[in-house]
Amino acid sequence: MTPKPVTPEPVRPDPVRPEAPASNIPKAAGFMAGAIVAFSAMAVAGREVVAELDTFELMTYRSIVGLILVVLIGGLTGRLGEIRTDRMPTHIFRNIFHFLGQNLWFFAVGAIPLAQVFALEFTAPLWVIIFAALFLGERLTVAKIASGLIGFIGILIVVQPGAVPFSLGMAASLGAAVSFAITAIFTKRLTRDQSIMGILFWLTTIQLVLGLAFCLYDGEIALPSLSILPLVVLIGLCGLVAHFCMTSAFSCAPASVVMPIDFARLPLIAIVGMTLYNEPLQLAVFAGAVLIFGANYMNILTEHRRSRRQV
């Protein structure tokens, strides 16, 4: 009996992992430049507006401007169909904390030097480390704990406890950073299955409802005067532009590239504060901010190396 010839199995090539999209650093830098200008303009406009409107009124008018822009852009681009209602509890919780953070931030820009506001705002990623461990179950590594401790030392240098009084503006700025960190946690959950258009729509809509509720509890709401109306519109526009530019920058390049560009906000706003409001350039603010930035950057690089080892 003649044995049946054995047909050799075809040699299959080794699976090739898909390459990560190439970084476009010049494009990311361009988007970050837009975000830096938008954040700085919003801070200056906010300081001017809070002299006439309280933060709840400011947030209400900002949300109106933002909602009009989102609906207009969504309608022109045909993306309004991306707005969904299946994650409303997460949208609501996210925007409660974002609303709180923005109110505290606008209060802070009118109460303490702008450079100090931005330096303390940079602590938000450090708070994310803590909240990600609590709410997302992410592991606290030695590097994360070390970066948190370094960042905390940076906070102490910025606020100088004992050397200068701990002001309400400092507390508001730190509270804003904590609120923004919690917002980031909820945003991370939403971006798993929600579009940016949907997130921005519910951001402006929910915060408009919250703003009106807090403005109208006494039955009164101040209207912006003609002199500050352009600034109110500018704040609403800059808020959306800043969020869009930041998101676009992170899609063009890794966080390890984007974050150092974002840090340029601090010297820029310090120069703006010195030029427009005669705010002194405080060495302690810059020294503390460098430590806060270093802590954030160390955490980013550690996570980047860990993710590359897992590939």
Q: Which residue has the higher pLDDT, 299 or 122?
A: 122
Give the model's pLDDT for residue 70. 92
What mean pLDDT is predicted for residues 101-108?
Answer: 95
- The percent of residues in the chain predicted with pLDDT above 90, rounded, is 43
Give the model's pLDDT for residue 20. 41
CB distance 289 to 124 below 8 Å? no
Distance (Å) of CA 151 to CA 21, 120, 146, 266, 294: 32, 10, 9, 16, 8
Residue 11's pLDDT band, with cuts at 50, 70 and 90, is: very low
Q: pLDDT of 200-251, one tens digit each?
A: 899 999 999 999 999 988 778 899 999 999 999 999 999 888 878 887 887 7
Q: pLDDT of 129-177, one tens digit each?
A: 888 888 777 777 888 888 888 888 988 888 887 667 788 999 999 999 9
pLDDT at 13 over 50: no
pLDDT at 17 over 50: no
Every domain of the chain and the residues it spans: 25-214+224-310
Write down the pTM of the prediction: 0.83
As a whole number, the mean pLDDT across the chain is: 84
Greatest pairwise CA separation for the chain in angstroms? 102
Give the model's pLDDT for residue 5. 53
DSSP letters for the chain: -PPPPPPPPPPPPPP-PPPPPPP-HHHHHHHHHHHHHHHHHHHHHHHHHTTTS-HHHHHHHHHHHHHHHHHHHHHHHT-GGG---TTHHHHHHHHHHHHHHHHHHHHHHTTS-HHHHHHHHTTHHHHHHHHHHHHS-----HHHHHHHHHHHHHHHHHH-BTTB---HHHHHHHHHHHHHHHHHHHHHHHTTT--HHHHHHHHHHHHHHHHHHHHGGGT--PPPPTTTHHHHHHHHHHHHHHHHHHHHHHHHS-HHHHHHHHTTHHHHHHHHHHHHH-----HHHHHHHHHHHHHHHHHHHHHHHHHHHH-
Give the model's pLDDT for residue 310. 62
pLDDT at 104 over 90: yes
Residue 76's pLDDT band, with cuts at 50, 70 and 90, is: very high
Residue 276's pLDDT band, with cuts at 50, 70 and 90, is: very high
pLDDT at 18 over 60: no
Determine the Cα–Cα distance for residues 279 and 223; give it in Å rounded to an integer: 30
CA–chain centroid gap for 196, Å, is: 14
Determine the Cα–Cα distance for residues 311 and 259; give it in Å rounded to an integer: 23
Lowest mean pLDDT among 58-67, 72-81, 140-149: 140-149
